């Protein structure tokens, strides 16, 4: 009986501790009442968002792990924050009044995640290089421009988001970020593929959408752990590397808006794990026979191309749930779509099929939502 009581007390204590750690404080005043019991503090909502400065007492929150200051009016951080030895995540996104990163930021070496989306102060950017234990850095939409040399110290990085950073080139030391798993360099000013990428063999997600790339080297085939690859909106690319066939773990591939593509490289036979493929507006009129190998494909986007009929190879994709092939000169009635038992969404808008044919198609596919 005594053991049972002790067990019950232990369970209740553990549950209480868990509840305490999972609670998120949204008021600075209430958090300062019992600072050692604060694990998560989010000041990005309600009246808290109007805060212009943090008190020195915040340094008493010795167990603080997550601090969200997104969208607040703060201009700096108090020196006492250097005491926050357990802080793992700091969000300074949209802190537009902050003109320079304070020196104390570089003392938060326990940080694993740092977010500064939509605004990156012009001053003291190099201080981020002191955060040597960072595993995730999000500087999306900051117009970073030039990469600080101190970033060479961030060798433990696993997730790096630099979307819309105004970046034209990357220093070679990025090759030392061997643990990188997700890299987003979309919507920058890259005119050449950064060669360091091909050495990051732990990458599972790579986003290079909307740059000015004209060529993708064969070395991209080294990234055999990739699950997601986006090369869309690089309108100067004329061909794809054959080595893409080595990326056998790919689950999502986006090659949309490659408007200068001269032909679709036959890379598909080995890419049997693909679930989603986007080839919209990529100047194609046919699909290779090897496309039939994509037996796990559930979503296929072929909009705004030159298909005169739905390619026969598509009728072999028995797991296909969504097919979008709008804005193509399709005039041949696609009766064989009935062979796709899982098809739920079909977009045939702006094709040359007649209203009568489209109505007949709806009857043929009673469980499918047909758009036209």
68-114 confidence digits (pLDDT tens)? 999 999 999 999 999 999 999 999 999 999 999 999 999 999 999 99
Contact 234, 212 (CB under 8 A): yes
Predicted confidence at residue 119, as pLDDT, reads 96
State the CB neighbour count (10 A cutoff) for residue 291. Answer: 23
Q: Is there a shared CATH topology between the 1-111 domain and the 112-371 domain?
A: yes
Structure tokens at 243: 């080595």
Kindly provide the b/e burial profile for residues 314-331, where b requires at least 16 CB atoms within 10 angstroms of the residue's own CB: bbbbeebbbbbbbbbebe
CATH number of the 1-111 domain:
3.80.10.10
pLDDT at 362 over 70: yes
Structure tokens at 136: 């995730």
How confident is the prediction for the chain on average, in pLDDT?
94
Torsions phi, psi for 7 (to 5 deg): -65, -45
Contact 80, 103 (CB under 8 A): no
Would you list the domain boundaries of the chain?
Answer: 1-111, 112-371
The number of C-alpha atoms within 13 Å of 262 and in the hemisphere containing its C-beta is 8
Beta bridge mates, 114? 90, 137
C-alpha R_g of the chain: 26
Q: Which residues contact 328 (CB under 8 A, 6 or more apart)?
A: 302, 303, 304, 305, 306, 307, 308, 350, 351
pLDDT at 6 over 60: no
Collapsed DSSP state (helix, strand, coil) of residue 329: coil
Beta bridge mates, 138? 115, 161
Give the residue among 172, 135, 170 at the shortest CA–CA distance from 155: 135
Predicted confidence at residue 118, as pLDDT, reads 96
Looking at the chain, the whole-number percentage of residues with pLDDT higher than 70 is 95
158-171 confidence digits (pLDDT tens)? 999 999 999 999 99
Give the pLDDT band (50/70/90) at residue 5: low
As a whole number of angstroms, the distance between CA 282 and CA 105 comes to 45
118-130 confidence digits (pLDDT tens)? 999 999 999 999 9
Structure tokens at 70: 């997104």
Nearest 5°: the CA angle 197, 201, 205 is: 70
Helix, strand, coil % in the chain, rounded to nearest 5: 30, 15, 60
Q: Indicate the pTM of the whole model.
A: 0.92
Contact 158, 179 (CB under 8 A): yes
As a whole number of angstroms, the distance between CA 64 and CA 160 comes to 24
The fold for domain 112-371 equals 3.80.10
User: What's the count of helices (H) and strands (E) in the chain, helices before strands?
Assistant: 3, 16
189-224 confidence digits (pLDDT tens)? 999 999 999 999 999 999 999 999 999 999 999 999
Predicted confidence at residue 11, as pLDDT, reads 43
Predicted confidence at residue 3, as pLDDT, reads 61
Question: Both ends of the chain: CA-CA distance in Å?
Answer: 71
Give the residue among 314, 323, 267, 278 at the shortest CA–CA distance from 295: 314
7-21 confidence digits (pLDDT tens)? 444 444 444 444 567
DSSP 100: B
Specify the residue for token string 């893409």: 244
Predicted confidence at residue 13, as pLDDT, reads 44
301-332 confidence digits (pLDDT tens)? 999 999 999 999 999 999 999 999 999 999 99
């Amino acid at each position: 009986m005594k053991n049972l009581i002790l067990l019950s007390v232990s369970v209740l204590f553990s549950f209480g501790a868990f509840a305490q750690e999972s609670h998120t404080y949204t008021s600075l005043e209430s958090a300062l009442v019992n600072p050692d019991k604060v694990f998560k503090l989010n000041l990005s909502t309600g009246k808290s968002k109007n805060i212009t400065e943090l008190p020195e007492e915040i340094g008493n929150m010795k167990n603080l792990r997550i601090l969200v200051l997104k969208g607040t009016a703060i201009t700096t951080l108090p020196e006492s924050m250097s005491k926050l030895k357990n802080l793992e995540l700091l969000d300074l996104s949209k802190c537009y009044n902050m003109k320079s990163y304070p020196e104390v930021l570089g003392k938060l070496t326990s940080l694993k995640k740092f977010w500064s989306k939509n605004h990156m102060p012009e001053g003291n950017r190099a201080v981020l290089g002191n955060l040597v234990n960072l595993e995730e850095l999000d500087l999306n939409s900051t117009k970073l421009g030039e990469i600080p040399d101190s970033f060479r110290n961030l060798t433990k990085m696993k997730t790096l988001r630099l979307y819309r950073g105004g970046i034209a080139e990357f220093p070679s030391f990025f090759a030392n970020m061997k643990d990188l798993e997700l890299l987003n360099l979309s919507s920058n000013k890259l005119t050449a593929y950064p060669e360091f990428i091909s050495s990051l063999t732990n990458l599972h997600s790579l986003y290079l959408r909307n740059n000015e790339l004209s060529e993708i080297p064969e070395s991209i085939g080294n990234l055999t752990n990739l699950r997601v690859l986006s090369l869309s909106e690089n309108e100067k690319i004329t061909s794809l590397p054959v080595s893409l066939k080595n990326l056998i773990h790919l689950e999502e591939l986006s090659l949309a808006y490659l408007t200068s593509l001269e032909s679709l490289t036959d890379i598909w036979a080995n890419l049997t794990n693909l679930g989603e493929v986007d080839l919209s507006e990529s100047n194609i009129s046919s699909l290779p026979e090897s496309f039939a190998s994509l037996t796990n494909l559930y979503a296929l986007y072929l909009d705004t191309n030159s298909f005169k009929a739905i390619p026969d190879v598509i009728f072999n994709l028995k797991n296909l749930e969504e097919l979008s092939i709008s804005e193509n000169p399709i005039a041949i009635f696609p009766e064989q779509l009935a062979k796709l038992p899982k098809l739920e969404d079909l977009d045939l808008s702006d094709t040359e099929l007649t209203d009568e044919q489209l109505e007949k198609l709806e009857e043929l596919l009673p469980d499918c939502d047909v758009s036209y």
